[in-house]
Amino acid sequence: MNIVKTDFPGLLIIEPKVFSDARGYFFESYNEKVMADADIQTIFRQDNQSFSKYGAIRGLHFQLNPYSQTKLIRVLEGVIYDVVLDLRKGSPAFGKWFGLELSAENKRQLYIPQGFAHGFSVLSEQTSILYKCDNFYHPHSEGGVLYNDPTLGIDWKIDAAGATVSDKDRVLPTFDRVETNFVYQV
């Protein structure tokens, strides 16, 4: 695996080594030893899978401490534009967003540490994603940031007029009104 650092502390792109031949391909999507060798000590406790159709936008979601979640995102089918927003007060990337295309074809994964809001848009006809979480879902700790907050200016790579967004995600607070308890730790 190739682990690529981003300009956002702790946010990593994981690129697997893919072995292809006439039969198809093989790759390790997760290897605890490789991650530990890269100083990633996360213990994942829950796997989630979602299916969405073209134009869906999900996010931007997070869980507050002590239930915040580190996530490892990968696409099983289709293409998404994955977006994270750094909510860690004191982080050099606080209030900035990062986006990356993840697909079944490129097999990239995004390692998202605690303290980020996460969302994605679906760029293919349909998509299935699988993500690992280091903490269990806790509904009373849910939070979010409005996906189309004009101060953030996130380009979701789809026509906003044709986007499918849940009623819940349409009424999330803007970044300047969101309340979190995330603090950047060096």
Q: What amino acid positions are annotated as catalytic residues? A: 61, 131
Q: Where are the domains of the chain?
A: 45-177
- pLDDT value at residue 162: 87
**pLDDT confidence of residue 48:** 97
Cα–Cα distances in angstroms (integers) from residue 80 to residues 5, 21, 53, 129, in the given order: 20, 26, 10, 9
Mention the CATH class of domain 45-177.
mainly beta
Which two three-digit tokens encode residue 70? 């580190």
Output the pTM of the full model.
Answer: 0.95
Sign of the CA dihedral running 183, 121, 70, 169: positive
Structure tokens at 30: 């997760």
Q: How far apart are CA 73 and CA 104, in angstroms?
A: 12
The overall average pLDDT reported for the chain is 96
Q: What dihedral angle (degrees, nearest 10) is formed by the CA atoms of 117, 123, 129, 135?
A: 0
Check residues 126 and 1 and name the one with the higher pLDDT: 126
pLDDT in tens, 142-168: 999 999 999 999 999 999 888 999 999
For residue 34, give the DSSP letter: H
pLDDT score, position 12: 96
